[in-house]
Amino acid sequence: MKTFLVCITAGLCIAASVPPWGWWPLIFVGVALLDRLLIGTTAKQRFRRTWLVAAAWLFPAMLWMYDLTAPGYVVAGALFAGYFGIAAALTPPGRARRFVLPGAMALAELARWTWPFGGVPLANLALSQVDTPLIYASRIAGSLLVIVLVIVVGQALHSLLCKDFNALGYAAAVVVLLVVCGYVYPRSQVVDDVEVALVQGGGPQRTRASALQNPVVLQRHLDASQEINDDVSLIIWPENVVNPNIYLSQQEAAQKIRQLAKEKDATVLPGWFYLTSPTEAVNYQAAVTPDGEQVDRYDKKNIVPFGEYVPLRSLAERFSDDLPAHDVVRGVVDPILDTPVGPVGVSISWEGYFDTRARSAVQHGAQILTNPTNGSSYWLTQVQSQQVAANKLHAVENDRWVLQVAPTGFSAIINPDGNVQQSAGISEQAVLQQSVEMRQGRTLASYVGFWPVGLYGIAAALAGLASQRRSRKHASSVSPAVVQDEPQKPSHSYISKSVS
C-alpha cells in the first residue's frame, strides 16, 4: 500500500506541474520519488511502479480527451503509461539509472508523440518548464532536451536528499551547461517589423459546429475585425471559422473575406472548413492579399484522431455514435504561406503541439509562426492552456514570434523569449494588435531536431539492457548472498525500506 501511495503521489505531482495548473516545481518532486522507486527492484517491479506513476500523471492531465472519446481516453492513458513503464524496465536499478533514465523517458515521450494514430504530445513533461530557465535548452535540441533536463533535475533532488553530493554536482553541471549554451546561442536577425491583428470572435465554449451556427461564427469575426486599426498589415483569423454550408455559400464567404482585406488594406489569413464529398472535408488556412486575391493555401497535415478522422472506423462506430461523419483530407504541402509581408509559418490547431511542424516551417523560411486553432468544442481549458505552453516552447526553440488565435480563447502573442505579450480569455471577443518582428536565421534545434536526444535515448536503453545482463551474469556466478547495486543507508532514506 505504501508503494501504491508513493506512485500515485509522484504521478499527481507531475500532473500538477503542467498547465492549466502549472505548479512547475512539483515535477521535480515527482521525478525524485520515481527515481527512488526504481532502486533495487526487478524489471517487472519497475514497469508496474512507473506505469502507475504515469497513469496518475496522464489520466488527470489528459482529462479533456474523455469528452472527445471516452473509450479512447482510457485506452490512450493506459497505453501511454505503458511506454514509460517500458522505459523504467530498461533502466537498471543502480547508479547507472542516472544515465539511462533521462534518455529512456525522453524516448518514451518521443514514442508517445508518434504512435498510434500520429501520437498525442499533450501533457508532456517539457510543458511544465515554459516559465523556467530550462526552456532555453530547447534552442539546442528541442523539447526532448528539456525533458531530459527535467529528469536530471528530479534525480538531482533525490541525490540531494540522500546526501549524494557527487551525483548532485554532475547533474548540476550538465543542467547549467546546456541551459547556458541555449541562452547564449546566437539569435536570429530581425528583417522587418509588422503590425499584426489576431481576431477572436468570442462566443460560448464547448459547442459543436452546426449549419445554423456557422454563419454566426463568421459574423462574430467580421464584427470583431472592425475594431482593427487602419495601420495593420496582417490579420489572422482562427481555424475553420469560415465554414460554408447550406446557409452560406463558398462564394458568399469568400466575398466577405475579400471585402475585409480590401477595407483594411491588409493581408488576411482566414481558416476554412467545408465538405468536398459525402465522406471528406478540407481544413486549411488561406492567404488573401489587400487586393482580395487568394495567393496561397496550407491544408492541415496532422489531423486529430477521432476528431477530424476516425481510425478503424468500422470498429470505432460500434462503440460510439458521436463520431465525425467526414474525414479531413490530409495536406501535402510545406507548413508555410507566402504573403506580401513575408513567409508565414502555419501550424493549424492540433499541429501546434508537434514541434516538427514549427521546425519544418522555419526550415522552409518562415519569418514568423502562427497557430490558428479552434478549441471551442473542448471541455475544460486543458487543451487551450497546454497549447499556449507548447507555443511558448516553439517560440524559444525556433527564435520566432508565435501568434496563437482561437475563436473562443485562448489567443496569445508570444515573443521569441517565450513571454506572452498579450492574451485573450475564454469566450471574450477581442482583437490583439501589436508590432512583431519578422526574423531569419535558425537555432541549432531547427537543424538537428530530435535526433541527438533520440539517439541518446536509444543508446541509454541499450546500455541499460547491457548493464542488467551483466548484473544477472554476475549474480549467477557468485554465492547466493544478496547483491546490492547501490547499498542504502537508513539515515539517507526518505522512503521506508519496506517499500517493495
Pair (313, 404) in one structural domain = yes
CA–CA separation, 191 and 437 (whole Å): 7
380: pLDDT strictly greater than 80? yes
Model confidence at 289, in pLDDT bands (50, 70, 90)?
Answer: very high
- CATH, residue 385: 3.60.110.10
Pair (471, 371) in one structural domain = no
Q: Return the pLDDT at 181.
A: 98
What's the angle, vertex CA 418, arms to CA 345 and CA 201, rounded to 5?
60
Q: Return the pLDDT at 292.
A: 96
Q: Return the pLDDT at 478.
A: 65
10-14, 275-279, 479-483: lowest mean pLDDT where?
Answer: 479-483
Asked if residue 327 is part of any domain, the answer here is yes
Asked if residue 500 is part of any domain, the answer here is no
CA–CA separation, 219 and 225 (whole Å): 10
Residue 195 burial (CB count, 10 A): 18
Model confidence at 499, in pLDDT bands (50, 70, 90)?
Answer: very low
Q: Return the pLDDT at 321.
A: 66
Pair (387, 481) in one structural domain = no
Q: Return the pLDDT at 479.
A: 52
CA–CA separation, 180 and 201 (whole Å): 41
Q: Return the pLDDT at 112.
A: 97
Model confidence at 69, in pLDDT bands (50, 70, 90)?
Answer: confident
- Residues in the chain, how many? 500
Summarised one tens digit per residue, pLDDT across range 55-68 is 999 999 999 999 88
CA–CA separation, 392 and 415 (whole Å): 8
Which of 67, 64, 117, 116 lies closest to 322, judged by CA?
A: 67
Evaluate whether 200 touches 190 at the Cβ level (below 8 Å).
no
Asked if residue 136 is part of any domain, the answer here is yes
Helix residue ranges, H only, 304-381:
313-316, 355-363
- Domain that includes residue 172, residue range: 2-185+448-492
Summarised one tens digit per residue, pLDDT across range 92-146 is 999 999 999 999 999 999 999 999 989 999 999 999 999 999 999 999 999 999 9
Asked if residue 284 is part of any domain, the answer here is yes
**Cis link prior to 116 (omega < 30° from 0)?**
yes
Pair (428, 350) in one structural domain = yes
Model confidence at 262, in pLDDT bands (50, 70, 90)?
Answer: very high
pLDDT higher at 411 or 496: 411
Pair (106, 249) in one structural domain = no
pLDDT, average across residues 361-385: 93
Pair (466, 438) in one structural domain = no
175-179, 247-251, 304-308: lowest mean pLDDT where?
Answer: 304-308
- Element housing 4 (H / E): helix 2-17
Asked if residue 302 is part of any domain, the answer here is yes
Asked if residue 309 is part of any domain, the answer here is yes
Pair (483, 423) in one structural domain = no
Pair (429, 473) in one structural domain = no
Pair (154, 255) in one structural domain = no
Asked if residue 224 is part of any domain, the answer here is yes
Domain boundary among 442, 458, 481: 442
Pair (328, 434) in one structural domain = yes
DSSP single-letter state for residue 248: B
Amino acid at 207: T
Domain count, the chain: 2
497: pLDDT strictly greater than 70? no
Domain boundary among 401, 418, 442: 442
Asked if residue 154 is part of any domain, the answer here is yes
Pair (330, 468) in one structural domain = no
Q: Return the pLDDT at 441.
A: 97
Pair (274, 389) in one structural domain = yes
Q: Return the pLDDT at 205.
A: 86
Which of 61, 83, 201 lies closest to 457, judged by CA?
A: 83
Q: Return the pLDDT at 411.
A: 97
Summarised one tens digit per residue, pLDDT across range 310-337 is 887 777 666 766 677 889 999 999 999 9
pLDDT, mean over the chain: 92
